[in-house]
């Protein structure tokens, strides 16, 4: 970390000596300097996390083995266009920082590392990788095409006026013509949150919005496990299991972290109405989590919804629950969760953060049989950076938060993408991919990364973090449907591709749009 600080200090001096450069060029230069620093490099007791990585923005290093008798190692990077860059080093696990700044953005390259004897002869090839030297941050990007608050409210009104949402005005059962209602905690919980947000932002809709929110909450409470059961107060992850044939392993199961989504929705509704029923439900969910915590501070990823028994030995990524506990502590004085949260933090540090194995845990991707690092995601890394700052920074937390954000940028942010054979770009950039297994630009992922960047900015005043976050949030308004206000979930531009629409993701977009409005 001292090396990083020194490099950034030197970059700062360089900026002070270059007054003729405009603000965008200064940001570009600083970003380029930071890209020479490897993200959580492996070596010694630190494992390498990038064995399945296909692209890098920050200079990588790889887990290539030493060769007996070697005195040097020759690194050669070759582009598909035939350009070549090389250097020698004492180890086969060195960063590519020496040549990284020379490789053009948007270049597919092949790396070879050869072990050399004391005469410079090649003993053996110890490593080879192919990857994409991705585009770095290079503003200016498209500014927001409408006021952030206006964009957020348009998104709320789109959800509110959907026939499947209006259905809640007179029913306490979901309209399943919106198929994502099969995920109650996630989608119906988000429906409650959108309607509460609309009631807050547009008072003329308050009565109607709160009717929808209360009826949706009534459904979640009716579907939840009863007091005295092992998963008491937990609503189901799945309802009517419309996709059972495709995701058959999920029949009768519930994802551990999903109940926290319903709890967050109950808390939002309690804040708006003051009705204690919703706080009691939220506390009931949290109390059940206490009974499920393992001795090592972890929780299992999935439980049988009827019996409450774990269905496998896989442990959950805990950031949604830790944040939920923290909210109950900070906003409602519910201090009984502090020790469980601290134990959960300890488990996350030792088993996830130190190992840098931030594996994706989504209901449509089976985690069983995955190798370590096979399906990394920003959806653990960036939110955990935000959590560290929200909780209150302790020693080393700020450096950790920066590292998690840079990892998320390195592996999942696309500041640009190549033009394909049709003469168009594949995705609306800048964007953020969700995970390795679902390599798709998703608005929720853009929100994850932008939120963490803004958290760091508000903590430190780091203008580069703010500029990167703004570029991502501005693009939410660019891809928003101008005539309906619909906040698209996926940002792919492929011919005949139909973007998906998840209300929970749209809600995250609304929240960060409002945040940017306040910052602006």
Nearest to 384 by CA among 433, 475, 448, 316: 448
The pLDDT assigned to 19 comes to 56
In the chain, residues under CATH classification 2.60.40 are 35-133
In the chain, what percentage of residues exceed pLDDT 70?
93
Q: What is the DSSP pairing of strand 122-133 with strand 55-56? A: parallel
Beta strands (DSSP E) in 263-310 are 302-304
The pLDDT assigned to 5 comes to 47
The pLDDT assigned to 362 comes to 79
- Residue 425 sits at φ, ψ, to 5 deg, of -90, 145
CA distance 496 to 476: 21
**Which single residue is written with the structure tokens 């939110």?**
383
Which pairs from 400-406 meet CB under 8 Å and 24+ separation? 400/353, 401/452, 401/455, 401/456, 402/456, 403/39, 403/40, 404/353, 404/452, 405/381, 405/449, 405/452, 405/453, 405/456, 405/465, 406/34, 406/39, 406/58
In the chain, residues under CATH classification 1.50.10.10 are 171-316+318-329
- Residue 167 sits at φ, ψ, to 5 deg, of -55, -35
Residue 6: other Cβ atoms inside 10 A? 10
Q: Which fold has domain 171-316+318-329?
A: Glycosyltransferase (1.50.10)
**Which single residue is written with the structure tokens 């540090």?**
349
Task: Please state the rounded mean pLDDT for residues 56-82.
Answer: 97
CA dihedral sign, ordered 145, 146, 149, 153: negative
The pLDDT assigned to 361 comes to 84
CA dihedral sign, ordered 456, 462, 466, 471: negative
The pLDDT assigned to 250 comes to 81
Does pLDDT of 27 surpass 60?
Answer: yes
The pLDDT assigned to 245 comes to 47
CA distance 330 to 318: 18
Does pLDDT of 448 surpass 60?
Answer: yes
How are strands ordered across the β-sheet holding 84-89?
Answer: 55-56, 122-133, 107-116, 72-79, 84-89
Does pLDDT of 278 surpass 70?
Answer: yes
pLDDT confidence bin for 420, thresholds 50/70/90 = confident
Point out which residues pair with 85 in neighbouring strands: 77
CA distance 410 to 119: 37
Radius of gyration of the chain (CA): 24
In the chain, what percentage of residues exceed pLDDT 90?
88
The pLDDT assigned to 240 comes to 83
Task: Please state the rounded mean pLDDT for residues 274-278.
Answer: 98
In the chain, residues under CATH classification 1.50.10.20 are 358-365+372-520
Segment (H or E) for 1: none
The pLDDT tens digits of the residues spanning 50-62 come to: 999 999 999 999 9
Write the CATH number of the domain with boundaries 358-365+372-520.
Answer: 1.50.10.20
* DSSP letter string, 197-212: HHHHH-GGGHHHHHHH
Evaluate whether 275 touches 288 at the Cβ level (below 8 Å).
no
The pLDDT tens digits of the residues spanning 207-264 come to: 999 999 999 999 999 999 999 999 999 999 999 865 554 666 788 899 999 999 999 9
- Could you give the angle at the alpha carbon of 452 between the alpha carbons of 315 and 505, nearest 5°? 70
Write the CATH number of the domain with boundaries 35-133.
Answer: 2.60.40
């Amino acid at each position: 970390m001292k090396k990083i600080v020194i490099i950034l200090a030197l970059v700062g001096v360089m900026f002070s000596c270059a007054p003729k450069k405009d603000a965008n060029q200064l940001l570009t230069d600083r970003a380029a300097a930071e890209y020479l620093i490897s993200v959580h490099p492996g070596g010694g007791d630190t494992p390498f996390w990038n064995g399945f990585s296909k692209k890098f923005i920050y200079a990588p290093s790889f887990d290539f083995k030493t060769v007996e008798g070697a005195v040097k190692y020759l690194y050669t990077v070759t582009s598909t266009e035939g350009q070549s860059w090389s250097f020698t080093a004492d180890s086969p696990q060195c960063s590519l920082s020496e040549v990284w700044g020379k490789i053009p953005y948007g270049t597919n390259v092949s790396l070879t590392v050869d072990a050399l004897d004391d005469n410079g002869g090649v003993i053996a090839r110890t490593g080879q990788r192919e990857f994409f030297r991705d585009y770095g941050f290079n503003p200016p990007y498209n500014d927001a095409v409408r006021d952030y608050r206006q964009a957020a409210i348009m998104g709320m009104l789109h959800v509110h006026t959907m026939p499947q949402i209006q259905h809640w005005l007179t029913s306490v059962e979901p309209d399943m013509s919106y198929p994502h209602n099969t995920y109650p905690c996630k989608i119906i919980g988000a429906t409650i949150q959108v309607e509460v947000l609309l009631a807050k932002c547009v008072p003329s809709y308050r009565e109607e919005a709160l009717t929808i929110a209360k009826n949706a909450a009534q459904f979640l409470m009716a579907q939840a496990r009863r007091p005295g059961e092992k998963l008491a107060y937990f609503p189901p992850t799945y309802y009517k299991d419309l996709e059972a044939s495709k995701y058959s392993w999920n029949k009768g199961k519930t994802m551990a972290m999903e109940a926290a989504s319903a709890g967050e929705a109950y808390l939002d509704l309690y804040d708006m109405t003051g009705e204690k029923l919703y706080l009691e439900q939220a506390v009931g969910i949290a109390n059940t989590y206490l009974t499920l915590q393992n001795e090592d501070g972890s929780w299992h990823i999935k439980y049988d919804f009827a019996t409450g028994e774990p269905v496998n030995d896989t442990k959950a990524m805990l950031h949604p629950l830790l944040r939920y506990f923290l909210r109950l502590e900070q906003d409602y004085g519910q201090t009984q969760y502090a020790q469980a949260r601290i134990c959960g933090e300890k488990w996350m540090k030792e088993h996830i953060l130190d190992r840098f194995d931030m594996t994706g845990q989504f209901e449509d991707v089976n985690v069983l049989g995955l190798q370590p690092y096979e399906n990394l995601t920003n959806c653990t890394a960036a939110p955990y950076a935000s959590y560290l700052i929200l909780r209150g920074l302790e020693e080393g937390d700020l450096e950790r938060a920066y590292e998690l954000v840079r990892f998320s940028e390195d592996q999942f942010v696309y500041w640009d993408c190549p033009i394909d054979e049709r003469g168009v770009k594949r995705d609306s950039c800048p964007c953020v991919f969700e995970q390795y297994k679902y390599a798709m630009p998703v608005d929720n992922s853009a929100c994850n990364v932008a939120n963490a960047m803004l958290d760091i900015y508000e903590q430190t005043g780091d203008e580069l973090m703010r500029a990167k976050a703004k570029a991502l949030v501005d693009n939410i308004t660019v891809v928003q449907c101008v005539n309906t206000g619909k906040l698209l979930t996926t940002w792919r531009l492929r011919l005949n591709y139909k973007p998906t629409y998840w209300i929970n993701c749209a809600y995250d977009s609304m929240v960060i749009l409002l945040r940017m409005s306040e910052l602006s």
